[in-house]
Amino acid sequence: MHVANFTLVIHTKLKGFDMNDETKTASPEHEHLGMGKNLTYGFQHVLTMYGGLIAAPLVVGLGIGLSQADIGLLITASILVAGLATLLQTLGFKWFGSKLPIVQGTSFAAVASMIAIGSNGGSFQAILGAIMVSSIFGIIIAPFFSKIVRFFPPIVTGSIIAIIGISLLPVAIRWMMGGNPKAENWGSMENIGLAAFTLFVLLLLTKFGTPAIKRLAVLLSIFCGAIAAFALGLADFSKVSDGAWIALPNILGFGMPVFEWPAILTMSIVTIVILTETTASLLAIGEIVDTQVDNKRIADGLRADMLSSALAPLFGAFMQCAFVQNVGLVAITGVKSRFVVATAGGILVVLGLLPVFGRLVASIPMPVLGGAGLVLFGSVAVSGIRTLSKVDYQVQSNLIIVAVSLAAGLIPLISPDFFHAMPDAVQTLFHSGISITCIMAVLLNLFFNHLHVGKKPQVSNLPEVAATAENHS
């Protein structure tokens, strides 16, 4: 055992990664699985997040009236920056990177705000400038966000994780129906049947497959679904060879960023939302991996998040955040190594430089991804429920905290226009049920379990995350 550990340390240092404490603690996220497994499981991560990755630049590009050529550049840039951001988050260096299996990609939380800026007279360069300034603001305040980890006991983290999964389920359902509500085949039997077939294959592989097959069930089910779609004439791969095969990064291809204070203020609000959601994702992945996530690690993760966001406009890309759908993939596969996710980041960089492969993946029908996504996103909700099982519901206040937090988080899903009469800043903040749940759970936990007025409240469930933070801060 000692010889093996020594060999691992030497091997790691030769590769440029100084594991030090990581190797000594043998935490699951630091496990080396070998290049073959890294590539296989990494590609599975790419397939899981690819649809969500290209959705944001596509929606923004169409929303502000960019040309098809410019939208294509946006998508390519988004893929490349997502890969670089993932490498930064998983491998990290001093002050930057959580070194957790977190996939980074373009944040959808900023889509509405960016379209609003572009639709109200702001240029695309103004959007890029606002992203740069607000991201630098995010780097500055990241340590503050890391300090609030002690206010995230299981009653808070469980509620957040559960609502993350629930919030993602509509995405999977839209994918199952075809992805485009304006398409003629939206919700057709062919689309739903294809999604059902993919889901059925996934279930069969999980039931009867070997342990290795079970870990690859998501990837294999998507592969089988794509083949079935092609055989039935529901997939078109004819355009894969169209366009350039190699596309080098186009630095400042959209021109120099322009700095306008209204746009900067709008994106700064979005930055707070993204920091909140990324904090929740870091805590969620910590629960799934069963590793310590203290305030230093959160700060490093948030700084990496914001640094990649600040540099993204140079390539023509948008703000980055942790992709929660991939948190579900880690939960369902049990593959917890950060080097698997780092490999996924490398694959994304390659796809960003070789758009032909990107076009191949993009040709996979959305219903196929939806069939697999139903399991992936549902597993995130289950992870939250598992965390909430640690809570003592004999204490009535705990029941109230969970009930109100989850109910509030469902508001944007049940009634998307609920906040339409409120100020734009409020609409931006509460656009995501994740943000509402996070804010509500933290505030209610503070009110019931930390605000000591008169008789000291009964807290039968010690905040495990808080204990971890205090022991390692």
Q: How far apart are CA 151 and CA 283, in angstroms?
A: 12
| Tokens 């029908």 sit on residue | 365
Residue 406: what pLDDT?
94
Q: What would the pLDDT profile of 327-367 be if each residue is shown by its tens digit?
A: 878 888 888 888 999 999 999 998 888 777 666 666 778 89
- Which alpha helices (DSSP H) does 316-432 contain, by range? 324-333, 338-353, 355-362, 366-388, 396-409, 411-414, 424-429
Q: Tokens 């983290």 belong to which residue?
A: 157
* pTM (predicted TM-score): 0.67
Contact 129, 312 (CB under 8 A): no
The amino acid present at 328, given as its one-letter code, is G
Q: How far apart are CA 62 and CA 339, in angstroms?
A: 35
Residue with structure tokens 């630049």?
57
C-alpha 201/C-alpha 469 separation (Å) is 42
Contact 434, 163 (CB under 8 A): yes
Query: Under 8 Å CB-to-CB from 171, ≥6 apart: which residues?
Result: 52, 325, 373, 377
**Which position has the token pair 């933290």?**
442
Instruction: Specify the amino acid at residue 7.
Output: T
Domain boundaries, the chain: 1-30, 35-472
Q: Which amino acid is at 106?
A: T
CA 268 and chain centroid, separation: 19
pLDDT at res. 93 = 86
The alpha carbon dihedral of 392, 393, 395, 401 has a sign of: positive
Q: 3-state class of 123 per DSSP?
A: coil
**Which residues of the chain register pLDDT less than 70?**
1-26, 51, 55, 59, 62-63, 68-69, 112, 119-122, 149, 243-244, 357-362, 425, 428-429, 432, 452-473
